[in-house]
């Protein structure tokens, strides 16, 4: 898909995205990232340090949220800037369903340089998990 600047307006909603994260996903991400912190795979350790259960890696949550942009544009290279604040962890239960991460995006500005600003909302278990999530995206003319 090629989203064109002329086809978008401030206030437009991007297609919503829902991704299930399971414990198996956390193991795969740990292997790819090298982040083997036991809060991401060991329930006993996670609860001993005050967490409710095993939690997803923050950068994995951020990557999942960024997919709302890359799937909308069809081009991950169109993302010029992407930033978030980690406000609440995604708790991943030890079952076949995992945790659902629900992501939405809304165009908040059209810039004179051919870019748009997108505000991203990311929720899991009914609560926001990323704050101040925004992306600057270059669209086709």
- pLDDT confidence of residue 2: 78
**pLDDT tens digits, 91-109:** 999 999 999 999 999 999 9
Q: Which of helix, strand or coil describes residue 66?
A: helix
- What is the total count of domains within the chain? 1
At 19, which CATH number? 3.10.129.10
- Domain holding 123, by residue range, is 5-138
Q: What is the pLDDT of residue 48?
A: 98
Give the global pTM.
Answer: 0.93
Residue 140's pLDDT band (boundaries 50, 70, 90)? confident
For 16-32, what is each residue's pLDDT tens digit?
999 999 999 999 999 99
Closest of 2, 57, 54, 52 to residue 34, by C-alpha: 57
Q: What's the pLDDT tens digit per position in 76-95?
A: 999 999 999 999 999 999 99
User: Which tens digit of pLDDT belongs to each residue from 115-133?
Assistant: 999 999 999 999 999 999 9
What is each CA distance from 98 to 14, 35, 74, 127, in whole angstroms?
Answer: 25, 19, 27, 16
């Amino acid at each position: 898909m090629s989203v064109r600047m002329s086809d978008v307006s401030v206030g437009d909603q991007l297609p919503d995205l829902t991704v299930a994260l399971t414990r198996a996903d956390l193991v795969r991400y740990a292997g790819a990232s090298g982040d083997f912190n036991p809060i991401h795979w060991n329930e006993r350790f996670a609860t001993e340090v005050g967490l409710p259960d095993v939690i997803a890696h923050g950068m994995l949550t951020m990557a999942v949220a960024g997919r709302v942009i890359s799937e909308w544009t069809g081009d991950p290279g169109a993302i010029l800037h992407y930033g978030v604040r980690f406000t609440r962890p995604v708790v991943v239960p030890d079952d076949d369903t995992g945790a659902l991460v629900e992501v939405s995006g809304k165009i908040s500005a059209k810039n004179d340089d051919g870019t748009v600003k997108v505000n991203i909302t990311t929720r899991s278990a009914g609560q926001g998990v990323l704050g101040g999530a925004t992306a600057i995206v270059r669209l086709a003319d």
